[in-house]
Amino acid sequence: MPECVDVTAVSSAEDALVLPPSNAYYPGAFCIGVRGPGHWGLLTSWRVYALLRENLATATATARVVASGTPPDG
């Protein structure tokens, strides 16, 4: 699937549901690893929200450049 769409995977070393933590790695995806929140805490973490928002903004900007066929402004 990562070849067809942008995929972001978020993992936490303190996640007690996904063991070992390396199982949260998704080949081909943009993988974000954080320390601190557990599995359910990832849903309510402002830090995780900010990282996802930043990643989505970058992916959107890249998609616009690719769709327009013009190089980004330097």
The pLDDT, as a whole number, for residue 64 is 63
The pLDDT, as a whole number, for residue 8 is 82
- What is the C-alpha to C-alpha distance for residues 41 and 62, in angstroms, rounded to an integer? 29
**What is the pLDDT confidence band of residue 19, given thresholds at 50, 70 and 90?**
confident
CB-based contact 55:30 (threshold 8 Å): yes
- The residue-averaged pLDDT of 19-40 equals 86
Count of CB atoms situated within 10 Å of the CB of 54? 11
The pLDDT, as a whole number, for residue 41 is 87
- Domain definitions of the chain by residue range: 8-68
Short-list 10, 4, 69, 16, CA closest to 42: 10
The pLDDT, as a whole number, for residue 46 is 92
32-72 tens-digit pLDDT = 888 888 888 888 999 989 988 888 887 766 666 666 766 65
- What is the C-alpha to C-alpha distance for residues 29 and 62, in angstroms, rounded to an integer? 15
